Structure 1
Amino acid sequence: MSPPRRPAPLPRIAPSPAAEPPYDEDRPTTDIPAMPPYVQGTLALSLEPETPAPPTGRPLIWGPPGAIPDERRLRALAQAVAEILSGRRPPASVSCHLTGRAQAELTRSGKIINSARPPRAGRAHISQPEDGVVEMCAVVDCGDRSRVLALRLERRGVRWLCTEFETTP
């Protein structure tokens, strides 16, 4: 014989929190920084002239005048160009590092590198044939096959700009 069953407990009634947000006078007074105004679908303009902020971080210039660019930055540029040539990055993403002619050529060339996985640029081999000119090449690993990417950079004022690029088909 089974023991007698106890009756099921009745549901308990618990107080619920207030459904409405507190009024301004109900909120605690703390110094909360003011949030900028929320603007949707329009361009927020400030009519007051802005004072230029001091430069922070690294400048866009690649080294002092006469110095060749850092190898890590050259490798990053080669990586970006390889990704553009494989169709994995838009050409406009490196437009600030290319001359107008090189940008147009890069956009016109389209997808040259066909690979199942993203390309990966190897170590950059750098040469300086004359003052103000740097030529570099890097082996780009595309999975099933490797390619070579060559870039020519020239100093224009205080910036290094890519003027030519070439890759194996």
Structure 2
Amino acid sequence: MSPPRRQASLPRIAPSPTAEPPYDDDRPAGDTPAMPPYVQGTLALALDPGKPGPSAGKPLVWGPPGAVPDERRLRALAQAVAEILSGRRPPASVSCHLTGRVQAELVRSGKIIDSARPPRAGRAHVSQPEDGVVEMCAVVDCGDRSRVLALRLERRGVRWLCTEFETSP
């Protein structure tokens, strides 16, 4: 006679930590780590532009005219552009957020940022010089040195598209 079977327990769902570091105003007082850990793949986008990824086609913001894009999405866009400029991401991966001219400029510029480790965009500093226009800059940590990345976005319908970018040499 075989021994009685023990009933198997069901798997449980455990919460995962957030992939983005908190903003300065999200942290409790006295909790200031030197540098949040680098998490590989936090901004993974579809490498094949023909296949829609999870965020493909989504605008940076939905809302009334004049609404400023979400700061976390702006930071993610700056991170993606920094990775493109370092040669670690194909320009087609963010083509839905760029005008044709800016995408061609990214392709033509090639690898501007030369660093041993992946670049990391800091907090986005956003200004709105006029309705339908957002200008932002972020410091990009490249390991041994830092660079500045500036982006200009204009609202086209319900979408925000990057119309200009500039970085320090």
TM-score normalised to structure 1 length: 0.65
**1:60 pairs with 2:44:** no
* Offset, 1:63: 2.9
Could you tell me whether the CA contact under 8 Å between 1:63 and 1:70 is conserved in 2?
Answer: no
Indicate the residue corresponding to 1:103 in structure 2. Answer: 103
Alpha-carbon RMSD: 1.6
Q: Corresponding residue for 1:144?
A: 144
User: 1:6 maps to which residue?
Assistant: none
| Residue 72 (structure 1) shift | 0.2
Question: For 1:98 and 1:87, how far apart are their aligned partners in 2?
Answer: 17
Unaligned 5+ segments in structure 2 are 1-54
Amino acid at match of 1:112: I
Rounded to whole Å, the distance in 2 between the matches of 1:108 and 1:94 is 15
Larger Rg: 1 or 2? 1
Look up the equivalent residue of 2:159 and give its one-letter code: R
Q: Which runs of 5+ in 1 are unaligned?
A: 1-56
What is aligned with 2:122?
A: 122
In the alignment, structure 1 residue 85 sits paired with structure 2 residue 85? yes
Query: Which residue does the alignment assign to 2:50?
Result: none
Q: Distance in 1 between matches of 2:72 and 2:135?
A: 15
- One-letter amino acid matched to 2:102: A
Letter in 2 for 1:99: T
| Aligned: 1:165 with 2:156 | no
| Cα distance in 2 between the residues matched to 1:90 and 1:114 | 16
Task: Note the alpha carbon deviations across 1:34-66, whole angstroms, 9 max, x for none.
Answer: xxxxxxxxxxxxxxxxxxxxxxx9x82313022
Q: 1:123 deviation in Å? A: 0.1
Q: Identity over aligned residues, as a percent?
A: 88
- Correspondence for 2:69: 69
- 4+ aligned runs moved over 2 Å, structure 1: none
The Cα offsets for residues 102-131 of structure 1, whole Å up to 9 and x where unpaired, read as 110011000000000000000000000000
Q: TM-score, normalised by structure 2?
A: 0.65
**What secondary structure is seen at the aligned counterpart in 1 of 2:122?**
strand
